Structure formats: C-alpha cells, structure tokens
Homo-oligomer: A and B are copies of this chain.
Amino acid sequence: MGKSILITGGARSGKSTHAEQTTLALGPRAIYIATAEAHDPEMAERIARHQARRGAEWRTISAPVELSDALDASDGEAPRLVDCLTLWLSNLMLADLDWDGATDALVRTIEAQRAPVVIVTNEVGAGIVPENALARRFRDAAGLVNQRVARMCDEVHLCVAGYPIKVKP
C-alpha cells in the first residue's frame, strides 16, 4: 500500500498549501484530483486561484463524484493529491447518491493504492449546531467520512494558521 495522508483543518487554515508541499515531497511530479465543480463565479474564482498556485509539475484530473475510479485510474508512480473530501461528499449528497457506500468503497480503494495519496478534508463540526437540518446531516456525514478515511490513512495532520499538528500516528 502506498503511503496515505489525510490533511484536515478549518477554512483557510493552510491545508491545500501544506498538502501540495507534502505531495511534492513524495515525488517530483504529482497528480491533482479535483473534486470541485465551478457551479458559480465564487467557486470558479477559487478553483482558478488554486490552479494558478500549482506549477507545471502538476497534472489535473477532475473527479467531483467518481473519486475511487480516479484514484484507481491514476495509480502509478506519481503521488496524488485529492482536494477535497468535503466537496466530494457535498457533490454526492446533492446528487442524492449513496455517500455511505461510496465512503466504504473509497476506504477500500485507498487501501489498494500502490502510489501515495494525500487527501485534503475540512473541519466543519466545531461551530454552533446549525439550525438547518440538511446542514446538520452534512456536518455529521462529513465527520463520519473523516473518521473512516483517517482510520485507513497512515498519517493525519490538522492545520492551524498554516502549521500542521500531527494527529496520527
């Protein structure tokens, strides 16, 4: 099994930059697996900003929903960076797909990878309980997905103000 690292943190905690550096430390070329879709101008701007920051050593694959397939198809020598699990979950839930089963499949897929995988996710459960029932279901699901992926990964890092705290091992 290739090395697997889960990187979590709040919004703008430096997760993506830390994940990019961590991925490039695992190989001179890397594959970026993007789960974001440019549904609106705000998201399109954020995607463009992230892409501009990455250099020529990156190849980008889009996988808003079929994340396990994208991992299997890209499994070779280069490390992969998945950014991010929370958007993937959101895409699954918005399309009314089985996120629970997809998470099981993802965990087995991560276990089977030969090349390294770095996965970015988000902390979304440390605020006040949302009044909106859908938001509550989403934050519960996001926490459960994080736990299940973390259990499979070799390392878990929590980013705070740009600096990682090693949570696992």
Contacts and interface: CB of A to CB of B under 8 A. Distances in A.
A161 B8 contact: yes
Interface stretch (A11-19, A58-66, A73-81, A105-113): A11-19
Interface in A82-127: 121, 123-127
A147 interface: yes
A2 interface: no
Contact of A150 (B141, B147, B158, B162): B162
A160 B161 contact: no
A12 B142 contact: yes
Given A123-B10, A150-B162, A167-B165, A130 B128 contact: yes
Main secondary structure on A side of the interface with B: mixed
B139 A12 contact: yes
Most chain B C-beta atoms within 10 Å of own C-beta, residue among A42, A127, A135, A168: A127
Given A11-B129, A124-B129, A150-B162, 13 more contacts: A10-B125, A11-B139, A11-B140, A123-B125, A123-B126, A125-B126, A126-B126, A127-B127, A128-B138, A143-B161, A147-B162, A158-B165, A163-B167
